[in-house]
Amino acid sequence: MQVFTDPYVLISKPFLRVKKFSSYIIIPFISCMSCVCTCQQLPQKIIDHSIRHLGMPYQAAPLDSLDSEMIHINPEGFDCVTFVEHVLALSLAEMSNKSDKLDSFVKVLRYRDGNMGSYLSRMHYFTEWIIQAEKNEIGRNISFSLGGRLLKKEINYMTSHLSQYPKVKNDSDIGILKNIESKLSEQEIGYIPKDQVSSIESFLQSGDILAFTTRIEGLDVIHTGFAFLENGKTKFIHASSASKKVVISHQTVHKWMQEQNTCNGLIVFRPGK
């Protein structure tokens, strides 16, 4: 399990309150993103593509197995994060009539400011992924609007477990990573505590990105997937390490969470506007 990796309703509160973190430059390619995301068809595109990938194999940390950082798109194997990235990028590319530019959409979702460089140019914490996606107007964290609370936590899992990250090679890398973690720890992000999820589950919509927060020290998110309404029940589609493939959960979201001892809450990111 990769760490972080496998580690509206009322709009009366801010979706996300962001302190200084990064410029989050929206690269020219993505200039059409705003008009893409206004379309109400985006959630349906997400579900359509998710369903097409049901049964595809689970692959733990596929990006970390590469010799060097590159735009790696493997439609035949995913962890939970690369599955979400791949499906969302497919949906955005299709809606902007740029299906031949899938790698460019993946790049914008995966890398800080859309700039691929070293291993540390990739966003390894999913809360940072959410912050950048909102800055790029891909969608919004609606957790506050669902009655959520402030997720306040010191993020330092990677620097506290360097043996798990051999690509963080030297003191310079460690310093860069500590700076990323420090800034991320200052962010004010909404989440819904685990014991409140059952009461807001009916407000979730198919295509919402669900990020499951954790009580593991130093870590923000342990799993992610797409909400999916099936026969009146709110489930989710995800690349499951337990099932070894992309599946629709057998349980509703809150019941699945109740069985995950390390899960303590939920961030809901709604693609589109």
pLDDT tens, residue by residue, 206-242: 999 999 999 999 999 999 999 999 999 999 999 999 9
pLDDT surpassing 90 at residue 188: yes
> Tokens 């059952």 — which residue?
198
The owner of tokens 């990677």 is: 158
Rounded Cα distance, 111 and 124, in Å: 9
With pLDDT > 70 as the criterion, what percentage of the chain qualifies? 85
The predicted pLDDT at position 39 comes to 55
- The chain-wide mean pLDDT, for the chain, equals 88
Residue the block writes with tokens 């493939």: 245
- How does pLDDT run across 118-157, given as a tens digit for each residue? 999 999 999 999 999 999 999 999 999 999 999 999 999 9
b/e code 103-118 from CB counts within 10 Å (16+ = b): ebbbbbbbbbbbebee
Q: Which run of H or E residues covers position 265? A: strand 263-271
CATH class of this structure's domain 16-271: mainly alpha
Which pLDDT band, with edges at 50, 70 and 90, does 65 fall under? confident
Helices 126-135 and 102-110: crossing angle in degrees, nearest 10, is 120
Residue type, 195: D
Q: What are phi and psi of 191, to 5 degrees?
A: -145, 160
Give the SS3 label for residue 5.
coil
Is 86 strand, coil or helix?
helix
- pLDDT surpassing 70 at residue 29: no
Cβ atoms of 131 and 209 closer than 8 Å: no
